[in-house]
Amino acid sequence: MPLLGLLLAMLLAGCTMTFAFDQCGRDEDCPQAMGKKQFCTSDRICAVGTPVERMCRETFPPSPAANAVPIGAILSLRADNLSYQALQLGIDEINALSGSGHRPLVLYLCDVSGTDDDAPKAMKFLARERGVVAVVGPTASGQVISVAAEAEAAQVPLVSPSATAPAIATLPQAGKYVFRVAPSDELQGRVLANLVLDASNQPRVGLLFVESVYGKGLQEAFVTAWKAMGGPELVGSWSFQEKNEGAVRNAVKHALGTSMTDVVVISYLDTPLLVRELSGLKTGSNGTRIWMADGAKNQFLLDLLREMNPPPDAHFQRIRGTAPTVGSTGSVYSKFQTAFRAKFGTDPSADAFAAYTYDALYAIAIAIAYGRGSPSGPLVSAGLRRIAGEGMPVGVGQSKFLEAVGKMAMGQQVPLDGASGKIRFNDRGDRMEALFEQWSIDVMMRRFTSVPAPL
């Protein structure tokens, strides 16, 4: 080999060694990038957001049929474990009928509990790598907004069981690639304001809310309804950043420095910390009432009650909240609840949105039939738009699934009678009917109780 060629080969070899993509061996080796945490991927590269191989590890059933239709789920398992169980229950019920002429389902789950960058990364992976035809989730409003453009680009519709921010209905993808079975917080804000106003003759109300699309949307809806109902000026309004303990404690500190008859708390993942910090409020007949919303009605609040030993019973007993509800415990919900308890030994009512997640899955599974054996994202989207109309609703669940699938395959409109009530989508992908509850905590039994709340 000529000397020049040898030198060139050595230089190329040296470059390959010098610039090998071997940036890290663990997360701690990665610096921040523009203020965001980086993680070490399986390729030993530092990247923003949780690596896909850590987020998207669950497949259900673990050994799917070769002809199974792939669907995705984007959940935050830190808070959505009961929702994941609701999905497993639905998948098992539907797949048990796969010998009746329709294809079984396989669910690919991505857990986006880690960072704000996880949901878009998960949506891209599910659409482009797993080839899903639809996605259940995301569960948080901000996450839905963050993945909407990718859903449209990949032509993969999503159905969120619990995203309630009013802003979602204004997305350009709403009603085509973004649907939700949870009602808008424009309604919940009115319910919450009405309950707080009725609780006191001379209310002095403070408001604590998380700085997110969900928190700001419900805060604005509450304040709008409060003013329209003639409520007095708020004592104060304090916001905090999600998963920032210092910000939460600082906001609560300001609230505790006022004299309030009621404090309205709009939160999600920070609910346990907020409840701990608010234990300093006076209890008793003249104590401050605590009002919360749907994001707080979660198993993690009951877990906190069990962890605090001895639990401050009077503190937990004064907590009230609102949430979308399943209405009366009709036959669809009763069957869902019974099957859920039998399979997991847990009551799904511990999570405000377990039944809604079950319904979101069934809505997708029924819409898949619009593709008549060859489902695709656009066809599933078209099928979801057929969940509408004034006809007799078809029950969600195993017993009525084949009836709903048959109607969808013929192109009929198929309104549903879900575990969470009647489901029809409007042209913005929003649920048209909604029922709400007022929930409280049974301290002795360590469970939620509820009564209907008027709109």
Domain coverage including residue 108? 56-180
Alpha-carbon torsion, ordered 340, 341, 343, 349, to 10 deg: 40
DSSP letter, residue 134: -
Give the tens place of pLDDT for each residue, 61-70. 999 999 999 9
Give the tens place of pLDDT for each residue, 266-298. 999 899 999 999 998 988 778 899 999 999 999
Q: What is the pLDDT of residue 7?
A: 41
Provide, rounded to the nearest whole percent, the portion of the chain with pLDDT above 90: 74
Tell me, yes or no, whether 164 lies in a domain: yes
Query: Domain of 132: which CATH number?
Result: 3.40.50.2300
What residues of the chain score a pLDDT lower than 70? 1-21, 100-101, 327-330
3-state secondary structure at position 200: coil
Q: What is the pLDDT of residue 29?
A: 83
Tell me, yes or no, whether 46 lies in a domain: yes
Q: Which of 180, 200, 234 is the last residue of a domain?
A: 180
Give the tens place of pLDDT for each residue, 191-217. 999 999 999 888 999 999 999 999 999
Cα–Cα separations (whole angstroms), residue 298 to 126, 184, 204, 448: 27, 19, 27, 9
Q: What is the pLDDT of residue 32?
A: 86
Same domain, residue pair 62 and 112: yes
CA distance 226 to 196: 9
Give the tens place of pLDDT for each residue, 401-434. 999 999 999 999 999 999 999 999 999 999 998 8
pTM for this predicted structure: 0.87
Tell me, yes or no, whether 11 lies in a domain: no
Contacts of 248 (CB under 8 A, 6+ apart): 240, 270, 273, 274, 277
CA distance 402 to 96: 12
Q: With contact defined as beta carbons under 8 Å apart, do 258 and 281 qualify?
A: no
Q: What is the pLDDT of residue 314?
A: 92
Tell me, yes or no, whether 138 lies in a domain: yes
Same domain, residue pair 51 and 158: no
Tell me, yes or no, whether 83 lies in a domain: yes
State the maximum Cα–Cα separation within the chain, in Å, rounded to a whole number.
Answer: 97
Contacts of 345 (CB under 8 A, 6+ apart): none
Q: Which of 55, 73, 103 is the last residue of a domain?
A: 55
DSSP letter, residue 160: E
Same domain, residue pair 51 and 126: no
Same domain, residue pair 62 and 86: yes
Same domain, residue pair 72 and 147: yes
**Count: domains in the chain:** 2
Same domain, residue pair 78 and 91: yes
Q: What is the pLDDT of residue 47?
A: 83
